[in-house]
Structure 1
Amino acid sequence: MVALTPLGSLPYPQPTDNADIPVHLQSLAEAVDGRTVLRFADAAARDAKITDPLPGMVAWLNNPGRYYHFTAAKQWAPLVPGPVHWFSTLTGTTSSAAYVETLTGATDPLAVSFIAPPAGIALITVGARFNNSAAGLTYFSASVKQSTRVVSAAADSRAATVGGTNQVSASVQFPVSGLTAGAAHTVTGAFRTTATSTSLTNRFLTITPLN
């Protein structure tokens, strides 16, 4: 009867087993196969090949060029989640007193997707150069969503804030928890002002997953 190693449960033959080397090698190879670092072109190729992944599996994806592991929550997540950054030099304006996610004159939507880390927490950083047309306050915040579920809405308490009419650069960092580990989330910039109007340029957004 084939025995198993004490730690990895890998099969090996006993003296009383049939001397069938190919069969024994195949059993060992199949047992080791899912414990190595697997390599695939992308997530679609991985999912087509691994139809029943087990927690602890590790796979390398050529696209996007990262390691992923299968978590106890039954999801593929980056082995070492890295920061995601977005930046634009386009200038946009708004006169909205309520938060809006688009600026007039800036055709680039400020939206960034990332994969939530196992801890379900990420540090969000937003910033820009502000120029108010009149006295008042301008706020640059961000919302975080998982599909249609709002994890964190844009709010003044989580916003880079500038007052006065001088050109000023400002940024803010805030943590967001309650993310679903291994799932895709989208961070979208949002803006509002109590001034007559305001313009923003050199806008940026960085997401840093926290383990």
Structure 2
Amino acid sequence: MSTTDSYAQNIPAPTLSDEPNIEAFIATINALTQRGIMRFASAAARAAALTAPVEGMTAWLTAERRLEIYTNGSWLVWPPQPVQTLQVSDAPYNVSTTTVDYTAGAWPRAVFLAPPSGRAFVTINASVSNTNTDTSTIWAAWRASGSLGFAYSNLVRTGLSAQGKRVVASKRSLLTGMTPGETITVIPQWNISSGSSSTAETLNGELLVEPCAT
């Protein structure tokens, strides 16, 4: 009488007393295939072959040269890959005491898919200064928004700051609570307490997103 494997994977395992059955043999092969690392020429070829993927399936894509795992309804790159963006130009500093997004042209957004862990480290690096007065401040920070409703914004927790002088610094924060497979956009921001582009400056800005594998 047929049974299943010894590792709780529900793979059909015929016994010696079973009559020969090619369909049962094929069912065993199929069960083994979907639990191994499948190989496809491309993501399009995979989509054509796997019309109803199940949680935990793993596939190597030859054209894209990457491994992906099916999690929470999405194929996610494994291990998760970091994303980096660099500041291109400075902000206009045309408003005060308001946190403003950099334009995508001045400092590109970092866009990534939330990993299975739902967590990612975000690091911001920059050289900031505001010499308008001895107490004038400037911030370089970021906020996050997601296609499925996730949003996060906290100037104090994510930002670098200088007061009346230049500061070169780096700040790393853990972004949590994301839905695996959700598209997350990390948007760089600026804020000054007073002054203008003649007194405030941000140089060498960098955003680095490191999705957590676990």
User: Residue 126 of structure 1 is aligned with which of 91, 104, 124?
Assistant: 124
Q: Do the aligned partners of residues 184 and 93 (structure 1) sit closer, same or farther apart at CA in structure 2, a change above 3 Å counting?
A: closer
Q: Tell me which residue corresponds to 1:115.
A: 113
Q: Deviations over 1:98-126 (max 9, x none)?
A: 222226xx834420111212222222111
Under a length normalisation based on structure 2, what TM-score does the superposition of the two structures give? Answer: 0.80
Deviation at 1:16, TM superposition (A): 5.0
Report SS of the residue matched to 1:196. Answer: coil
Report SS of the residue matched to 1:30. Answer: helix
Structure 2 unmatched runs, 5+: none
User: In structure 2, how many angstroms separate the alpha carbons of the residues matched to 1:147 and 1:123?
Assistant: 19
In the alignment, is residue 58 of structure 1 matched against residue 39 of structure 2? no
Kept in 1: contact 2:102–2:187 (CA 8 A)? no
Q: Tell me which residue corresponds to 1:102.
A: 102
Deviation at 1:192, TM superposition (A): 1.3
Q: Tell me which residue corresponds to 2:178.
A: 179
Q: Do the aligned partners of residues 10 and 178 (structure 1) sit closer, same or farther apart at CA in structure 2, a change above 3 Å counting?
A: closer
Report SS of the residue matched to 2:27. Answer: helix
Q: Tell me which residue corresponds to 1:10.
A: 11
Q: How many residues align?
A: 205
Q: Tell me which residue corresponds to 1:155.
A: 155
Deviation at 1:179, TM superposition (A): 0.8
Structure 1 unmatched runs, 5+: none
Deviation at 1:49, TM superposition (A): 2.3
Letter in 1 for 2:187: T
Deviation at 1:38, TM superposition (A): 1.5
What value does the CA root-mean-square deviation take over the aligned residues? Answer: 2.7
Deviation at 1:146, TM superposition (A): 0.9
User: Residue 203 of structure 2 is aligned with which of 192, 201, 204?
Assistant: 201
User: In structure 1, how many angstroms separate the alpha carbons of the residues matched to 2:148 and 2:13?
Assistant: 51
Kept in 2: contact 1:58–1:67 (CA 8 A)? yes
**1:1-40 correspondence to structure 2 within 5 Å:** 2-7=2-7, 8-15=9-16, 17-19=18-20, 23=23, 25-40=25-40
Report SS of the residue matched to 1:128. Answer: strand
Q: Percent identity?
A: 25
Letter in 2 for 1:92: D
Report SS of the residue matched to 1:181. Answer: coil
User: In structure 2, how many angstroms separate the alpha carbons of the residues matched to 1:36 and 1:101?
Assistant: 45
Q: Do the aligned partners of residues 30 and 129 (structure 1) sit closer, same or farther apart at CA in structure 2, a change above 3 Å counting?
A: same
Letter in 1 for 2:84: H
Q: Do the aligned partners of residues 26 and 155 (structure 1) sit closer, same or farther apart at CA in structure 2, a change above 3 Å counting?
A: same
Deviation at 1:159, TM superposition (A): 0.5
User: In structure 2, how many angstroms separate the alpha carbons of the residues matched to 1:99 and 1:42?
Assistant: 43
Q: Do the aligned partners of residues 196 and 64 (structure 1) sit closer, same or farther apart at CA in structure 2, a change above 3 Å counting?
A: farther
Deviation at 1:55, TM superposition (A): 2.0
Answer with 9-18 or 173-182: which moved more. 9-18
